[in-house]
A and B are shown apart, each in its own frame.
Chain A
């Protein structure tokens, strides 16, 4: 899941970025309203965490501009303004949620997950796909009832695939979800992560759709007898 964080306070922004990254989220951090609005218009974010008191363009203007440009990304407003009128205005302009400073990090993460869930049209907090279960809050993955420890990036990839369950996730979309702007990405990084997931969970779980991207195998197929394939070699796995 990729988050756009817009916060002009260096110390606070840095802290939130650290917390979000630890929750296996990909974070891009901008410090002024004008560039935030441009980024939201360009798309590619699952949730925007937006401070209201921003230089160059006020947070309210960012919300207005984003909604005027028909960007539907969920926006979580983060602000020191505590008047009800400010909250009402922000929500009426098109913000989806509101969190007053100072806030609990756990609550911020929970609200981000809830916004993302709603954006995906899900109601359950846990994502499931046949024998695969993923709890975004606890950062836990279970495969056929067995807990599997995944590093942050692999967890994020699996989650993105679950968000796209029943469809094919494009390479670009997955890459965007996994890496921020300021991160250097090796050209085969995605393939390596897919390989690791297949190894740790099930070789048949992720299908390669050539020229497009990846998709999870249908539930019916996964529920049939598992066919582990320990001889699978990532080097021979073709890039999509």
Chain B
């Protein structure tokens, strides 16, 4: 396994093989040890028992019938069986292949062998001391039990150690085998499960890959594994938000394109009229209209940009303390000249101590749009009043004019993008109040349109959350 792309499947299979092998090895080790101990106990008991039976059988006869020195009786064991093999293969009617691995000897009090099996060595098996002993004979490990009969004979029963190791090995193998056999099956299973899970992932990425850039329909959350559902739901959430943003953008662009067509058409017609003008008076009239159209275009583009910046989700409003009084005076100073030229009485009452939390640039745009609207719709010689007042936790900005106002049934629509009131000289873009409303929303404030009681025109109240001074 390299450090190339991380593969859960390879990692899983590798981990599985390692764990199963380790567990098998440990289990086999334990089994081997337990096998050795258990078989040791069993074989030791049999060894002692064999020696005891032999002693009981040969003690009297051998004591009564003295044997010629150096000529012990030798019992031949069956040597025809195979050296290796298991179970029935080692067995025949004549004996057992493992008989050669067992031996016994009987010695007299002087240590001379009087009886022995031919599977053992010619001399004694072990030192003549009662009890168990582990000895090496011809390079083989033997376990020997030595017994002294009442008549002074020594009986020794021995057994080659490899029988015990072989048995313990068999037991250990028996423990390990099922695990090792199960290993490929488990690996296959893991491979298949991971493949199934990755197919769901592959299907998911396939679905996403084939999508057009603007296909933002949610992914079906039902045909993926439980573990992927969270991912799918999160993706769907993201797709949804993207879709909304895209739709907002699309609507805005469509509206903007639509709204740019009429002023453009006007420019084009006036340009054509200017070209076709037959005298200076006509030329001057067309030129004036063309200039007016260009000014309107300029304002429309500016306002579109302002509106785009204030669109929901564009960016969060900055939250810095803004002294609204200074902001209002600066904004009014920017545009007051247009009103003064038309003889409009513009009155500003903006105390300095009112502070709101917000974006000073956006708030300047807000004030400018409101005052610009008021000046635009107020007839020459009319009045516009801008005032600022603290109302507890909010600051209220009020702009009133003596223009035609907006009838109550049209006030909701007046906030919509590109709405223009009926019967005015349609120089407005229909964006001013939309921009104001977006800015108010982003500042967590409120906007109310009403009739101006004193002046008779429109009264706009904007309430913004106040920031405590200091």
Contact = CB atoms under 8 A, between A and B. Distances in A.
Tell me if chain B binds chain A.
yes
Interface of A: 8-12, 14-16, 18-19, 22, 32, 53, 55-56, 78, 80-82, 100-106
Interface residues of B, number: 30
Closest 10 CB pairs of A and B: A15-B269, A80-B261, A12-B266, A102-B265, A101-B265, A105-B272, A101-B261, A102-B264, A55-B422, A11-B266
Given A11-B263, A82-B257, A102-B261, 4 more contacts: A11-B270, A11-B296, A80-B265, A105-B269
Interface stretch (B286-294, B318-326, B336-344): B286-294
B174 to A, nearest CB: 81
Given A81-B258, A102-B265, A15 B426 contact: no
B269 A10 contact: no
B272 to A, nearest CB: 4
Contacts of A11: 263, 266, 270, 289, 292-293, 296, 426
11 contacts: A9-B426, A10-B427, A12-B263, A15-B266, A15-B273, A19-B269, A22-B276, A78-B265, A101-B264, A102-B268, A103-B268
A105 B276 CA distance: 11
Contacts of B267: 102
A23 to B, nearest CB: 9
B269 A16 contact: yes
Contacts of A81: 258
Interface string B293-308: 1001000000000000
B273 A8 contact: no
Contacts of B262: 9, 12, 53, 80, 101
A9 B289 CA distance: 13
A105 B273 contact: yes
Given A80-B259, A80-B261, A8 B286 contact: no
B425 interface: yes
A18 B269 CA distance: 9
B292 A19 contact: no
Contacts of A8: 420, 426
Contacts of A19: 269, 272-273, 276
A56 B273 contact: no
Contacts of B423: 55
Contacts of B276: 19, 22, 105
Nearest to B268: A102
